[in-house]
């Protein structure tokens, strides 16, 4: 028989960091963290720590860190960044009936939050649950993160599982009347916030999850999402605009049969951000859409935004969409690393991915690695990626109708972002976001 | 698989050759020429490098250049980033020099060429006139040629055995010879350009090639000259376990034009063979080079045994304004293909094009694509890649499009389409896109799908069997690339597409 | 109204001279047609007048009501009353047709120091005018020109013209790609807008549009210049005999 075994490349080349310097950097990183008193999550945390030590912190030469320098995430402590503690909170999502849960520097603030009761939803916090020995989240905490480590190692996700003190454990059994809103606040200038949410949506249940506000000077957020048969999660994250931050966010999800995951992120300025997605479609006829609209203006502050999103189809007739739009100017950098991976047997998969950058000046850059990795034949998968300036033809058309130059640019930027925004299902929420975008574009910078 | 292979003893024609011929199976070019070979000992070290240099009658500067490369190579590690899985290569278990014994004294004329070599060309389908010339037929040079002329520099394993049309090319001032001859006869050109596009240190395989390259082709087109005929090299790997390390250098002076064809076939072999070629192309102001390849080396058998390991570095440097390079490749062979013909668009308004068909069937693995490095203003590039996977094969397009800050007003368009035949194979797309100025526009599109059932049904309802129908549909899928090939090549390539997919359906 | 004198224009990118001394005057209230073979510079004229990038005026001038047009940004020209109906209207995904139109109307009103229309006023007006052009409410809701047929795009151009109330309307091959019914709708729209203080410059390759929109003056353009001007009968002459005789005459 063949002497050439055909396996996925990643399965045979684990990224092991045998470098003593790298090991020392990880030691320093861990030494600066106060470890939580783990209860139900103790085993998962111990396992994550072992995995983290095996893979080490990322290095700039690592394949998926070639476009984003990991040093600020690797540093032992966060660098203090100025913030406006008294500043008004973003008007986004105001005027909507919602259950608001407040986190300050990664820790739940019960006093500032609404009562944790909502029909069809069971909510506890990680810190509280960890005080006890057992919890429904025991089979999930760190498990989806673990699944997301293949085929690419994600050390900060493992770090998060190992060291997160707090987060929300949300179990949805019905169709709650209002969204759950996680509002982040910053307490100190050098806050190094880590949180880990686990969301389980049971058969046929639905939840809308909103995230907004100010995260730490440095942050590492994890959202583990487990969708049972026919479950739906609509997730919209819009961190506070123009807020200097070094942030990592993760969404690691398992999407069951007929379930639907829709996740949309809005990012407007803010130093260095990396969003990692690892979405596993495990049930037939499931849907996963991940989208982002990103605006970066290097004049507001340094700007580097990285979306590294993998969607894996492991079941039949799955539909996935990745829609990433970045508008960059004044030395801003946008990164997109996306993959559609279709496993053998995942027939009738419909996978689509689009990554586009609008460069408003010559200083900005877009670096993209849009991948397809496909092991099933009866599939329809495609991706596109474009980079360029404002469409001169459209700009002239608008101006010839009397629309002033600046206003025309705003129109064209909104036009460019429209495909990403259309991934927000709820009309009111989408209009909210569109209005905020327009406000930011018209009179930057404000929150 | 019948016939065990004796790795140790190599004494001219051996029984495996006979067995290999008997075991031809479905591989059309799977025969072996019975020619006595001369081998250097297995393995690579400084002495082997010196020996290769000496056998080629090279001057000291060349020997030193090779040794420098060798010393660098031993400090390097083999790249592992490609989506390829193959057993560790034991570089010390390869032959780095082999040539037909009858060539030990270089032939003064083609009359001296071993008739068996000429028979080899016939099997390869080298056009009649070139065969006559290669066979030394009196007056063949003046015989009317049917259709277009093609000059052939045939490479039999490691040594270039004959060059045709030399006189006519010489009249135009074109130099077309083996690289070893160029090193002796045109050292000033070789010194100036060798390693100037693919430096010795470029990558593991290119560095190895720099140390041990045995032979290859050299082309020089003087200023303003339109090469009067297409230049063609047929490569063959004939000796078992012999690394094939070709080195090709093409220089197109200002305003010149040349079309170069490279075709490759290799006999069936049980043990994987290593191949690491380097092609360097220098293109000056307003010059244009077309480089077309049809590669159908032995891909291994239906069970994944044997086949060529092909690690190739090909790069064109559009060094001056309005220089133009067009790469076209049809990759149907080899067990492992690692190949990224690239374009450095340095001159303002220079252009690079890459058209590729890669077919991987059975257990073949291909990781191939291109790099378009835009450095100059108003540079343009176009990539059209068609990948076909069948059987258990893995086929990856890997490409880089890079727009540097100074490469203003540049354009790239990339289209990568993959076709899957059967549910055990894989098709992958790994593009890298780096855009650092905003007046340039980069567009990348990729699709993956299976052979269209409606098209298949339509063909079959008109009387074709499934295999014919698939071949027809796949040829349609590849149309854009086939059209980019010179006509004679396009015909051969079309036939190859069908041959390569034999046994992939049903 | 519109005065063009000895206009010379070249393409910036190709360094190619397109207009070579074009002189033309369109008085208030008149409809002038420009006809000419392909490549005579008709579209270039419309783009230069409305201020598109990529053209360099090397000599001559163009004025609207005595004001120099050529120094103005496109939106300033629009506010000054110039309107170009595009040969190929541009699609702008994600921007609603109504939002676009209202922004344009109010930007122009603001530039002219007029009060902006409220949402209600605007809506009322646009509904009436859209109905006249048989533009459905659905088309108004859709993104600008996205998914519109050729005829719908041209009708949308005329709707914009009606809403923006320009004084000088340039129509660039508005008849191209229109079937008979669409041509009638568009022409009726234009005819309804004719008034003593509004002028039209109708650029067309064929005479048939001029059956619907009757011109006062017809100009024949060739090689970057007006080579002959006359009454509507000139268009009929072109229709019957083609351009060849006229071009020969000019040489």
d(CA A358, CA A391) in angstroms, rounded, equals 9
C96 and A CB contact within 8 Å = no
Does the reported pTM lie above 0.80?
yes
Q: Is residue C81 part of a domain?
A: yes
Q: Inform me whether the C-beta atom of residue C100 falls under 8 Å from chain A C-beta atoms.
A: yes
Closest by CA to C37, choosing from C180, C176, C224, is: C224
CA angle (C46, C48, C50) in 5-degree steps: 70
Q: How far is C154 from chain A (nearest CA, A)?
A: 14
List subunits contacting chain C, requiring 3 or more Cβ pairs under 8 Å: A
**C62, containing H or E segment:** strand C55-64
Instruction: Give C-chain residues touching A394 at CB under 8 angstroms.
Output: 90-92
Per-residue pLDDT reduced to its tens digit, A271-329 = 999 999 999 999 999 999 999 999 999 998 899 999 999 999 999 999 999 999 999 99
Percent of chain B residues past pLDDT 70, beyond the cut? 74
Report the residue of B411, B429, B454 to disrupt the A interface, i.e. the one with the largest count of A CBs within 10 Å.
B429
Quote the Cα angle for A363-A369-A372, to 5°. Answer: 155
Beta-carbon separation of A402 and C111 below 8 A: yes
- Are the beta carbons of B122 and B63 closer than 8 angstroms? no
With contacts defined as CB-CB under 8 Å, which chain B residues touch A366?
433-435
Q: What is the mean pLDDT of chain B?
A: 79
Residues from chain A that touch B437, judged by Cβ atoms under 8 A, are 359, 362
Q: What are phi and psi of C62, to 5 degrees?
A: -140, 130
> Mean pLDDT across the stretch B267-279?
71
- Chain A CB within 8 Å of residue C73 CB: yes
Q: Smallest Cα–Cα separation from C128: which of C116, C140, C110, C117?
A: C140
Cα of A237 to nearest chain C Cα, Å = 21
* Neighbour count for residue B486 (Cβ, 10 Å): 18
Nearest to B444 among A3, A345, A384 (CB): A384
CA–CA dist B294, C206 (Å, integer):
52
Q: What is the pLDDT of residue A295?
A: 94
> How confident is the model at residue C161, as a pLDDT?
92
Q: Which of A76-80, A204-208, A301-305, B209-213 shows the highest mean pLDDT?
A: A204-208
Residue C55 has pLDDT above 50, yes or no: yes
| Distance set, CA B5 to CA B14, B247, B298 (Å) | 10, 29, 16
Interatomic CA distance for residues B165 and B143, integer angstroms: 12
Q: Do C95 and A404 touch (CB under 8 A)?
A: no
pLDDT tens-digit map of C215-249: 999 999 999 999 999 999 998 888 888 888 777 87
Lookup result for tokens 């996978």:
A351
Q: What is the pLDDT of residue B384?
A: 95
Residue C20 falls inside a structural domain: yes
Establish whether the linkage from the previous residue to A445 is cis, with ω within 30° of 0.
yes
User: Given this model, what pLDDT does residue C141 score?
Assistant: 87
Give B300's contacts in chain A (Cβ within 8 Å).
4
Q: Which residues of A touch B364 (CB under 8 A)?
A: none
Band of pLDDT at residue B108, cut at 50, 70 and 90: very low
Residue-wise pLDDT for A113-129, tens only, equals 999 999 999 999 999 99
Q: Is the pLDDT of residue A17 over 50?
A: no
Q: Mean pLDDT highest for which of A196-200, B484-488, C118-122, C193-197?
A: A196-200
Rounded Cα–Cα distance for residues B227 and A34 (Å): 73
The band of A88, judged by pLDDT with boundaries at 50, 70 and 90, is low
Q: What is the pLDDT of residue B150?
A: 57
Q: How far is B480 from chain A (nearest CA, A)?
A: 19
Q: How many CB atoms lie within 10 A of CB A414?
A: 21
Question: Does residue C111 belong to the interface with chain A, where contact is any CB pair within 8 Å?
Answer: yes
Is C202 within a domain? yes
What CA–CA distance (Å, rounded) separates B409 from B440? 5
Is the per-residue pLDDT at A177 higher than 70?
yes
For C109, name the nearest residue in chain A, comparing CA atoms only. A402
E strand or H helix that includes residue B368: strand B365-374
- Buried b / exposed e over C192-222, threshold 16 CB at 10 Å, is eeeeeebbbbbbbbebebbebbebebbbbbb
Contact list, B434 vs chain A (CB under 8 Å): 365-368
Residue A107, token pair as written in the block = 């820790």
Task: Specify the pLDDT at position A49.
Answer: 96
Using alpha carbons, select from A152, A139, A175, A179 the residue that is nearest to residue A40.
Answer: A139
Does residue C134 sit within a domain?
no
Distance CA A374, CA B448 (A): 8
CB contact under 8 A, A12 and B85: yes
B116 within 8 A of B33, measured Cβ to Cβ: yes
Residue C110 φ then ψ, to 5°:
-65, -45
Question: Which residues of chain B have a CB within 8 Å of the CB of A372?
Answer: 418, 427-429, 446, 448
Are A397 and C50 inside 8 Å of each other by CB?
no
Count up the domains in chain C and report the number: 1
Mutate which of B310, B438, B477 to test chain A, going by most A C-beta atoms within 10 A? Answer: B438
Residue A33's Cβ-count burial label (10 Å; 0-12, 13-18, 19+) is: middle
| CA–CA gap between residue B273 and residue B115 (Å, rounded) | 26
Is residue C62 included in any domain, yes or no?
A: yes
CA distances in angstroms from A24 to A53, A154, A265, A268, listed in the order given: 11, 19, 35, 35
Which residue from B234, B245, B208, B210 is spatially nearest to B98, judged by alpha carbons? B245
Of chain B, the end-to-end C-alpha distance in Å amounts to 23
pLDDT score at C198 = 94
- 8-state DSSP, C117: P
Q: How confident is the model at residue B116 (pLDDT cuts 50, 70, 90)?
A: low
Mean pLDDT confidence for A154-179: 96
Name the percent of chain A lying above pLDDT 90.
Answer: 74
CA quadruple A136, A137, A140, A146: dihedral positive or negative?
Answer: negative
Mean pLDDT, rounded, of chain C: 90
Do the Cβ atoms of C107 and A407 come within 8 Å?
yes
Check whether B24 has a pLDDT greater than 50: no
- Report pLDDT for B126: 53
| Long-range contacts, stretch B117-125, CB < 8 angstroms, 24+ apart | B117/B33, B117/B35, B117/B154, B117/B156, B117/B161, B119/B33, B120/B33, B120/B156, B120/B236, B120/B238, B121/B152, B121/B154, B121/B234, B123/B29, B123/B31, B124/B29, B124/B234, B124/B236, B124/B263, B124/B265, B125/B492
Please judge whether C93 and A417 are an interchain contact, meaning their C-beta atoms are less than 8 angstroms apart: no
DSSP state of B493: H
Q: What share of chain C is helix, strand, coil (3-state, %, to 5)?
A: 40, 30, 30
**Is the residue at C137 inside a domain?**
no
**pLDDT at residue B455 in the model:** 80
Enumerate residues 6+ apart whose C-beta is below 8 A from B306. Answer: B268, B269, B270, B271, B272, B298, B300, B335
Nearest to B394 among A2, A6, A366 (CB): A6
Mean pLDDT across A166-195: 94
A339-348, A435-444, B282-291: least confidently modelled range: A435-444
What ranges make up the beta strands (E) of A242-399?
246-255, 260-268, 271-281, 287-297, 303-313, 319-329, 333-342, 350-359, 365-374, 380-388
Pairwise CB contact (< 8 Å): A394 & C90: yes
Per-residue pLDDT at A320: 97
**What pLDDT, on a 0 to 100 scale, did the predictor assign at position B486?**
78
Q: Shortest CB distance from B435 goes to which of A12, A365, A370?
A: A365
Residue C10 lies in a domain: yes
CB atoms B394 and A1 under 8 Å: no
The minimum CA-CA distance between C164 and chain A, rounded to whole Å, is: 8
Residue B241 pLDDT > 70: no
Mean per-residue pLDDT for C94-114?
87
pLDDT at B163 over 70: no
For residue C123, being part of any structural domain is answered with: no
Mean per-residue pLDDT for A233-251? 91
Of the spans A199-213, B26-40, B79-93, which averages the highest pLDDT?
A199-213
**CB pair distance less than 8 Å for A385 and B335:** no
Q: How confident is the model at residue B422 (pLDDT cuts 50, 70, 90)?
A: confident
Q: How confident is the model at residue C181 (pLDDT cuts 50, 70, 90)?
A: confident
- Tell me if B371 sits within 8 A of B345, measured CB to CB: no
Q: How confident is the model at residue B502 (pLDDT cuts 50, 70, 90)?
A: confident
CATH number of the domain to which C67 belongs: 3.40.50.300
Show the CA angle centred on residue A242, arms to residues A241 and A246, nearest 5°: 100
pLDDT at A333: 96
- Asked whether the beta carbons of residue A385 and residue B443 sit closer than 8 angstroms, the reply is yes
* Residue A305: both structure tokens together: 């935004």
Q: Which domain holds residue C176?
A: 2-92+168-250
Segment of A6-20, B107-121, B290-304, B312-326 carrying the highest mean pLDDT: B312-326
- Give how far C161 is from chain A: nearest CA, Å: 9
Can you give the pLDDT at residue C83? 94
Residue B429: which of B472, B379, B395 has the closest Cα?
B395
Q: What is the pLDDT of residue B268?
A: 46
pLDDT digits (tens, 9 = 90+) for B430-464: 999 999 999 999 999 999 998 887 787 777 777 77
User: Chain A residues within 8 A (CB-CB) of chain C?
Assistant: 391-394, 396-405, 407-408, 411-412, 414-419, 421-422
Q: How far is A319 from chain B (nearest CA, A)?
A: 14
Quick check: helix, strand or coil at residue A333?
strand
Residue A53: per-residue pLDDT: 94
* Inter-chain contacts counted by CB atoms under 8 A, chains A and B: 147
Asked whether the beta carbons of A304 and A278 are under 8 A apart, the reply is no
Q: What is the mean pLDDT of residues B47-76?
A: 91
């Amino acid at each position: 028989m063949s002497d050439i075994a055909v396996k996925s490349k990643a399965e045979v080349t684990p990224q092991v960091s045998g470098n003593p310097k790298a090991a020392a950097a990880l030691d320093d990183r861990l030494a600066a963290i106060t470890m939580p008193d783990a209860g139900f999550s103790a085993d998962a945390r111990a396992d994550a720590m072992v995995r983290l030590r095996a893979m080490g912190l990322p290095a700039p030469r690592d394949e998926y860190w070639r476009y984003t320098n990991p040093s600020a995430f690797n540093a032992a402590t966060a660098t203090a960044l100025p913030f406006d503690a008294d500043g008004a909170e973003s008007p986004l999502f105001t005027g909507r009936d919602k259950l608001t849960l407040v986190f300050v520097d990664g820790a739940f603030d019960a006093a500032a939050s609404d009562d944790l009761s909502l029909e069809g939803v069971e909510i506890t916090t990680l810190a509280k649950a960890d005080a006890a020995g057992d919890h429904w989240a025991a089979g999930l905490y760190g498990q989806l993160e673990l699944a997301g480590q293949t085929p690419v190692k994600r050390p900060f996700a493992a770090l998060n599982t190992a060291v997160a003190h707090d987060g929300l454990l949300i179990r949805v059994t019905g169709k709650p009347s209002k969204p759950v809103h996680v509002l982040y606040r910053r307490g100190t200038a050098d806050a190094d916030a880590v949180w880990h949410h686990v969301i389980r949506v049971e058969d046929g249940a639905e939840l809308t999850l909103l995230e907004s506000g100010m995260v730490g000077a440095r942050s590492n957020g994890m959202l583990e999402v487990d969708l049972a048969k026919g479950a739906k999660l609509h997730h919209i994250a819009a961190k506070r605009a123009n807020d200097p931050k070094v942030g990592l966010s993760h969404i690691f999800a398992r999407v069951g049969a007929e379930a639907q995951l829709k996740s949309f992120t809005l990012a407007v300025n803010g130093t260095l951000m990396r969003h990692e997605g690892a979405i596993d479609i495990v049930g037939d006829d499931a849907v996963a859409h991940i989208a982002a609209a990103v605006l970066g203006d290097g004049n507001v502050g340094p700007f580097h935004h990285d979306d590294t999103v993998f969607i894996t189809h492991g079941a039949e007739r799955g539909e996935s969409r990745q829609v990433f739009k970045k508008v960059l100017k004044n030395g801003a950098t946008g990164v997109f690393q996306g993959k559609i991976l279709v496993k053998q047997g995942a027939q009738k998969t419909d996978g689509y991915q689009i990554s586009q950058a609008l460069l408003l000046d010559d200083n900005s850059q877009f670096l993209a690695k849009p991948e397809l990795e496909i092991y099933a034949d009866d599939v329809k998968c495609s991706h596109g990626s474009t980079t360029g300036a404002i469409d001169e033809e459209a700009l002239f058309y608008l101006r010839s109708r009397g629309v002033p130059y600046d206003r025309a640019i705003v129109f064209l930027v909104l036009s460019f972002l429209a495909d990403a925004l259309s991934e927000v299902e709820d009309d009111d929420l989408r209009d909210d976001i569109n209005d905020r975008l327009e406000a930011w574009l018209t009179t930057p910078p404000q929150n | 698989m019948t016939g065990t292979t004796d790795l140790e003893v190599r004494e001219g024609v051996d029984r495996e050759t006979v067995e290999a011929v008997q075991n031809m199976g479905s591989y059309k070019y799977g025969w072996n020429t019975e020619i006595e070979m001369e081998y250097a000992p297995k393995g690579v070290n400084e002495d082997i490098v010196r020996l290769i240099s000496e056998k080629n009658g090279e001057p000291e500067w060349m020997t030193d250049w090779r040794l420098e490369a060798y010393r660098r190579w031993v400090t390097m590690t083999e790249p592992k980033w490609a989506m390829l899985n193959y057993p560790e290569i034991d570089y010390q278990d390869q032959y780095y020099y082999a040539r037909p014994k009858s060539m030990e004294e270089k032939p003064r004329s083609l009359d001296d060429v071993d008739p068996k070599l000429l028979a080899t060309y016939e099997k390869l389908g080298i056009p009649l006139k070139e065969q006559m010339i290669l066979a030394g037929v009196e007056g063949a040079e003046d015989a009317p040629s049917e259709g277009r002329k093609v000059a052939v520099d045939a490479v039999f394993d490691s040594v270039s055995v004959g060059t045709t049309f030399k006189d006519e090319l010489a009249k135009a001032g074109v130099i077309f010879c083996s690289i070893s001859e160029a090193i002796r006869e045109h050292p000033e050109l070789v010194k100036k350009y060798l390693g100037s596009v693919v430096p010795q240190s470029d990558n593991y395989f290119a560095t190895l090639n720099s140390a041990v390259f045995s032979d290859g082709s050299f082309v020089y087109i003087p200023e303003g000259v339109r090469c009067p005929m297409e230049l063609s090299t047929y490569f063959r790997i004939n000796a078992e376990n012999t690394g094939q390390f070709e080195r090709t250098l093409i220089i197109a002076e200002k305003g010149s034009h040349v079309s170069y064809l490279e075709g490759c076939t290799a006999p069936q072999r049980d043990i994987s063979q290593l191949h690491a070629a380097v092609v360097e192309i220098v293109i000056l102001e307003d010059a244009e080079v077309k480089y077309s390849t049809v590669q159908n080396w032995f891909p291994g058998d239906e069970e994944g045994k044997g086949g060529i390991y092909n690690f190739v570095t090909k790069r064109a440097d559009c060094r001056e304004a309005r220089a133009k390079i067009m790469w076209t490749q049809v990759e149907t062979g080899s067990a492992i293909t690692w190949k990224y013909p690239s374009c450095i668009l340095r001159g303002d308004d220079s252009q690079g094009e890459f058209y590729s068909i890669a077919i991987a069937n059975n257990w073949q693995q291909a990781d191939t694509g291109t790099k378009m490095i835009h450095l100059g203003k108003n540079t343009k590039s176009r990539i059209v890649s068609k990948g076909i996977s069948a059987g258990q094969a893995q086929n990856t397009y890997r490409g880089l499009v890079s727009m540097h800050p100074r490469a203003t007003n540049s354009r790239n368009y990339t289209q990568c389409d993959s076709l899957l035949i059967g549910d055990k194979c894989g098709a992958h797309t790994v593009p890298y896109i780096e855009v650092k100025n905003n007046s340039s526009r980069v567009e990348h599109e990729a699709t993956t799908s299976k052979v269209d059932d409606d098209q298949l049904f339509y063909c079959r309802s008109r009387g074709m069997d499934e295999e014919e129908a698939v071949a027809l549909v796949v040829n349609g899928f590849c149309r854009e690339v086939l059209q980019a090939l010179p006509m004679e090549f396009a015909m051969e390539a079309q036939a190859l597409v069908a041959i390569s997919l034999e046994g992939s359906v049903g | 109204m519109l005065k063009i004198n000895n206009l010379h224009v070249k393409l910036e990118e190709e360094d190619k001279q397109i207009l070579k001394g074009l002189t033309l005057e369109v008085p208030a209230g008149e409809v002038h047609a420009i006809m000419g073979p392909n490549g005579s510079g008709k579209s270039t004229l419309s783009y230069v007048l409305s201020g598109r990038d990529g053209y360099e005026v090397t000599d001559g001038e163009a004025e609207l009501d005595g004001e120099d047009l050529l120094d103005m940004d496109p939106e300033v020209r629009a506010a000054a009353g110039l309107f170009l109906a595009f040969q190929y209207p541009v699609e702008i995904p994600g921007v609603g047709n109504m939002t676009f139109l209202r922004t344009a109307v109010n930007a122009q009103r603001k530039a002219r120091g007029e009060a902006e229309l409220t949402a209600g006023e605007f809506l009322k007006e646009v509904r009436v005018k859209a109905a006249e052009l048989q533009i459905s409410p659905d088309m108004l809701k859709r993104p600008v020109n996205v998914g519109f047929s050729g005829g719908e795009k041209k009708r949308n151009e005329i709707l914009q013209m009606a809403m923006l109330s320009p004084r000088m309307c340039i129509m660039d091959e508005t008849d191209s790609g229109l079937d008979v019914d669409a041509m009638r709708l568009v022409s009726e729209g234009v005819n309804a807008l004719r008034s003593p203080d509004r002028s039209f410059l109708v650029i067309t390759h064929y005479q048939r549009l001029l059956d619907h929109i009757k011109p006062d003056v017809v100009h024949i353009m060739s090689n970057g210049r007006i080579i002959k001007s006359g009454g509507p009968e000139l268009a009929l002459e072109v229709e019957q005999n083609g351009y060849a005789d006229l071009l020969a005459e000019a040489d």
